[in-house]
Structure 1
Amino acid sequence: MRDVARLAEVSIATVSAVTNGTANVSPKRSERVRKAMEALDYHPDQIARSLKTGRTQVVGMILPDVTNPFYPEVIVGAEEVARAARYSVILCNANEDPDQEQQQLNTLFSHRVDGVLIACSDSAISFDRLMRRRFPIVCFDRIPPGFRGDTVSTDNFLGAHQATRHLIDLGHKRIAVLAGRTELSTHSARLEGYRKAMLSAHLPVLDEHWKLVGMQEQAGYEFGHRLFRLPHPPTAVFCTNNKLLLGFVRVMSEVGARCPEQISVVGFDDFAWTENFHPRLTVVAQPARELGRRAMQLLLERVQNKADESLVGPHQVVLKPELRIRESTAIITSMPKPL
C-alpha cells in the first residue's frame, strides 16, 4: 500500500479509502490510485480487511434451479445493487434439492459471507440456527412457511387470479391448470388464485382438469397429452410456470391443436420466446429484475445495520405482477378434439 501511495502521490489513507470505498475521494485522485495499483499489480488483502471491518464484502445467493429462465433476470437485478455497494456475489444452484440447499447455506455461513439471499426449493430447510446468530438472510420468490425474516416476493395469487379471470371473460368454462409443487409458496398461491377465480364465476374445478404435475417441461408435456385424451378437452389452459408452458406448447404442436382458435393458453413469467412464439403468448409477467434489486437492497440494509437492535423488521415486500395479453388467448371459434 505504501508503494501505491508513493507512485500515485497520495497518502496511505487515500489509498485505503479508494480500495475500501469508505470516504469521498476526487475522481482524479481515485484514477491515479487505480492506475498505480494496476502498475504494481497490487490487490488489497481481503482477509485482513474483513478482520478489521467485520465484513467480507461478499454475499451468497442460493437459487433452486439456474436453468429456469426466470432467475437470470433476478440475478442481474441483485448484482446491480451489490456491485454499486462494492459487494461480490457467490451464486449457488441447489438443483431443487433441499439437502444440497441446506449444505450450501451452511457452507456460505462457515465461509463468513456477510449474508444470504435464498429462493427455497423446499419448505423443510432450517434457518433457526443462523437466525439466532442474527445472520442476515432474505428469502425471495419462494417463501417457506413460518419464515420469520425479511422476504421479497410477487403477488402470485393476484397474477393467477387475473390470468384465470381473463380466460373466463373470454367465455371459457373448461379451464385446466398445470400446477407445480404446492409445498412451494409460489405455486400454492397460483393454484389458489385459479381456484378462487373459478369458484367466483360459479365454474367447477374438475378433477381431470388440474394436477400437481411438478416443475419440469416433461411434466407439462405428459399432462398435456392427458388433457387432449379427455372426451371433452379443456378450451383453455393456465400453466403456473414457464417450463410447464414449454411442455404444453410441445403437445399442442404434436396434436395439431390450433391456438387460440381451439385452445387458449396463458403462462406465468415473460421471456423473449413468449413474444417470438406464434401466436405470441399471453403471460403473467413478474418484475424479476426489480425483485432481485429489492431483495439485495434489503439484505445489504440488514448487513450494514446488523448490530442495530432497534432495526424494525421483518420486512415483507410484495411486488405486483402484470397480465400481458397477446394472441394466445381468444374467444373460442371451434372446440378442441380429443385424441
Structure 2
Amino acid sequence: MKATKPDGTRYNISDIADMLGVAPSTVSRALNGKKGVGEQQRNKILALAQKLGYEIPAVRQEPAVSAVSALPPSVSQKNNTIALVIGDIRNPFYADLEYGIQECLSQEGYQIMIFNSEYDIDKELSILQKTAEGGFSGLFLVTAQSEKMEAVLKTLSLPVVLVNRNFPGFPGDSVFADNFQAGYLAAVHLIDLYHRKIGFIRGPLLSSASTQRFEGYSQAMSNFGLTIDDRFIYDCDLKIESGRQSAKVYLACPPEDRPSAMIIVNDLAALGFIDECRKNGLSIPQDVSVISFDNIIYSSIEGINLTTVSQHVDEMSREAARLMLKQLHGDQTHPERVIITPELVVRGSTARSADFPD
C-alpha cells in the first residue's frame, strides 16, 4: 500500500532524503542503481522507499546516457528513462522545455532521453516504434500531427503526453498553449498600432500550433474588417534559415506593396527574418514591425528586443511532468487537456505604422 503525507500527496525523493539526512542526489543514485552509494546506505534508502510505497524504477545495468537521434537497445523491462521527441534540438524553446521537464522528473528518479526528428514525419514514426520496443517508461511527444502518427500512438502501451500539440483524435493527456488566442493577440497588437497590411509566416500545416496561430490571426483580421493578402502568407519549417528565406521573398516585392507588419510563427524564424531585412537596409520596426511566438531567452537581448507571445514554457514543462508522473504512478482516472494561457510581451520590434503617424 502506498503511504501518503498528511496533505494527501505522495512521498518523493526529497522527502526520503530529508528523513534519512542525506542529499536527494544520493537517494536518486541508490534508487537507480548508480555507483557512489555504500551498500548499507543503499539498503536503508531502498527499505524506506519500499515502506513509503515509493515506486522504484526498474534499473538497466549499463550506464544511462543522454542521446540525440540515437536509439537504445531493446530491453525486457522498462527502465527509468522517458523519451522526449522534438523537431529541432537547436531551438531554445525546446531546450527550455526539456530543462523544465527534467528538473521535475529527476526528483522522482527519472531521466530524459532526447530524440531529434528534424520535423521528418517518417523519422518520427520510426522513433515512436522504437520507443515502444526500447523499454522506456514513457514518451513526451512534441511533433506534428498526421494520420499515421495518430494510428501509431493508439498502438503504444506506454504512458504518452503530448506537449505543445493538440491532436483532436488523441485520447490521452496533453498540455498546450491556447495557440488560437496567441495568434489573435499578436494580430490585435499590430492592429492597435494602426497596421492594416499584416502578413503571416506560418509553420508546417501539420503542426497544430502553427495552424491554430494562423486561425487566430485570420479571425482578428476578419473582426476588424481587414483583408488578408495571400501574397504575404508564407510557409516555413520553424527554423532560422526559413525566416531568412521568407524575408527574401518579402524583400523581392515593391516597397509600396509590402505589409507594414509581419507575424512570424516562432521566435527562431523571426530572428532569421529580422537578420535578413537588416542586411538589406531595412530598420526594425521603422520599416516593418515584427512579432512572433515563444519568448525564447534571446528575445530580450539588446539589439533584438523581439515583441513576442509567451507560451509560459516553465508552466508547460511542469504540467507535462505532472501528467506523466500521474500515469506512471497509476493515479490517472481520466485523460487531461491542460491549456496554457498565452501572454503578449511587448518589446522594441513593433511600433505604430508609419502610414498613421501620431
Q: Which residue of 2 aligns with 1:239?
A: 264
Higher relative contact order, structure no. (Cα contacts within 8 Å, ≥ 6 residues apart): 1
Moved more, 161-170 or 111-120: 111-120
Q: Does residue 27 of structure 1 match 2:20?
A: yes
- CA-CA distance at 1:29 after TM superposition: 7.2
- CA-CA distance at 1:27 after TM superposition: 2.5
SS at match of 2:234: strand
CA distance in 2, matches of 1:164, 1:71: 25
Letter in 2 for 1:272: I
- CA-CA distance at 1:145 after TM superposition: 4.2
Q: Among 228, 234, 242, which residue is 1:219 paired with?
A: 242
Q: Does the CA contact (< 8 Å) of 1:139 and 1:152 recur in 2?
A: yes
Q: Which residue of 1 aligns with 2:297?
A: 272
Q: Which residue of 2 aligns with 1:46?
A: 59
Letter in 1 for 2:295: D
Any gaps of 5 or more consecutive residues in structure 2? Answer: 1-12, 47-57, 62-76
Q: Does the CA contact (< 8 Å) of 2:83 and 2:136 recur in 1?
A: yes
Q: Does residue 322 of structure 1 match 2:343?
A: yes
- CA-CA distance at 1:276 after TM superposition: 1.6
SS at match of 1:329: coil
Task: String of CA shifts for 1:70-100, please: whole Å, max 9, x gaps.
Answer: 1011111111111111112222111212222
CA distance in 2, matches of 1:169, 1:56: 53
Moved more, 117-126 or 226-235: 117-126
Q: Does residue 107 of structure 1 match 2:96?
A: no
CA distance in 2, matches of 1:227, 1:191: 18
CA distance in 2, matches of 1:29, 1:228: 61
Q: Which residue of 2 aligns with 1:312?
A: 333
Any gaps of 5 or more consecutive residues in structure 1? Answer: 1-19, 49-53
Letter in 1 for 2:345: R
SS at match of 1:76: helix
Letter in 2 for 1:233: R
Which one has the largest radius of gyration? 1
CA distance in 1, matches of 2:203, 2:148: 19
- CA-CA distance at 1:279 after TM superposition: 5.4
Q: Among 205, 215, 218, which residue is 1:192 paired with?
A: 215
CA distance in 2, matches of 1:102, 1:132: 12
Number of aligned residue pairs: 308
Q: Which residue of 2 aligns with 1:208?
A: 231
Task: String of CA shifts for 1:95-135, please: whole Å, max 9, x gaps.
Answer: 21222222222222212222111112442443556645642
Q: Which residue of 2 aligns with 1:120?
A: 143
CA distance in 2, matches of 1:64, 1:202: 36
Q: Among 233, 241, 252, which residue is 2:277 paired with?
A: 252
Task: String of CA shifts for 1:277-311, please: whole Å, max 9, x gaps.
Answer: 42511111111122112111101111111xx7xx4
Q: Does residue 97 of structure 1 match 2:114?
A: no
CA distance in 2, matches of 1:169, 1:254: 28
Q: Which residue of 1 aligns with 2:81?
A: 58
Task: String of CA shifts for 1:136-160, please: whole Å, max 9, x gaps.
Answer: 1111112334212111101111111
Q: Does the CA contact (< 8 Å) of 1:152 and 1:318 recur in 2?
A: yes
SS at match of 2:137: coil
Identity %: 26
Q: CA RMSD in A?
A: 3.1
- CA-CA distance at 1:314 after TM superposition: 1.6
SS at match of 1:62: strand
Q: Does the CA contact (< 8 Å) of 1:75 and 1:289 recur in 2?
A: no
SS at match of 1:26: helix
Q: Could you say if the C-alpha distance between residues 209 and 304 of structure 1 is closer, same or farther in structure 2, counting changes exceeding 3 Å?
A: same
Q: Which residue of 2 aligns with 1:72?
A: 95
Question: Normalized per residue, which structure has more helix?
Answer: 1
Letter in 1 for 2:316: L
Task: String of CA shifts for 1:155-206, please: whole Å, max 9, x gaps.
Answer: 1111110011010011000111111112110000011011111111100001
Q: Could you say if the C-alpha distance between residues 203 and 117 of structure 1 is closer, same or farther in structure 2, counting changes exceeding 3 Å?
A: same
CA distance in 1, matches of 2:152, 2:246: 40
- CA-CA distance at 1:256 after TM superposition: 1.4
Under a length normalisation based on structure 1, what TM-score does the superposition of the two structures give?
0.81
Moved more, 237-246 or 36-45: 36-45
Q: Does the CA contact (< 8 Å) of 2:240 and 2:269 recur in 1?
A: yes
Letter in 2 for 1:198: M
Q: Which residue of 2 aligns with 1:51?
A: none
Q: Among 287, 301, 306, which residue is 2:326 paired with?
A: 301
- CA-CA distance at 1:60 after TM superposition: 1.5
- CA-CA distance at 1:329 after TM superposition: 1.2
